Amino acid sequence: MKLPLVLALLAAPALGDFAGQPILGPLTNGSVVNGDTTGASDDNDGFTSGMHIFNLWEGGDDVWRLDWLGGGMTVELFYDTTFSDLELFVYRPSNLDDSGDYSIVNSGYEVVHIPSAPAGSYYINIDSPAFMEGAYRLAVTPAPSTLALLGLASLASRRRR
């Protein structure tokens, strides 16, 4: 009887994306929102959505949908580290099961830059260890292109002359 259970577990998908979870938003380019993970459900485990693999982020999490039109993006998370340890994970449309874009430094400021992000629905997971939930501010802005940054540097150098 144990063999069918093992086979069923092996045949099941390893991850679950964000299906069936409460999703906040949608956010768009230039969105700035306030939130609080206190009392939120624990549906994700930081790097993985829909289930727990690492068991590191067992506190409540908020998931926001971001409808991105394309181009470089910056996602910023601001929070007070006195009682909170929030982490920022951005999931790309091509992979809603795993996040390779994250910031977990616990400095009160987490930031993720994605240059040349294709258009689509991204998901932003704000997660935390157990009992470290808290209030936050989340901002999504276009990342300046390399040419724009070079242009600003050139303009600044001309003003010094």
User: Mapping DSSP to helix (H, G, I), strand (E, B) and coil, where does residue 89 land?
Assistant: strand
Single out the residue of 119, 132, 105 nearest to residue 28, CA to CA. 119
Q: Is the peptide bond before 26 cis (omega within 30 degrees of 0)?
A: yes
Q: What is the pLDDT of residues 69-126, one digit of tens each?
A: 999 999 999 999 999 999 999 999 988 877 888 999 989 999 999 999 999 999 999 9
Q: What is the pLDDT of residues 26-64, one digit of tens each?
A: 999 999 999 999 999 888 776 666 555 666 677 889 999
Give me 146's structure tokens: 């390399």
pTM over 0.85: no
Which of the listed CATH numbers 3.30.1330.100, 3.30.1050.10, 3.30.1440.10, 2.60.120.380 matches domain 17-160? 2.60.120.380
Sign of the four-CA dihedral 93, 96, 101, 103: positive
Cα 99 to chain centroid distance, Å, stands at 8
Ordered by start, the domain boundaries in the chain are: 17-160
How big is the CA angle at 113 (ends 140 and 86), to the nearest 5 degrees? 70
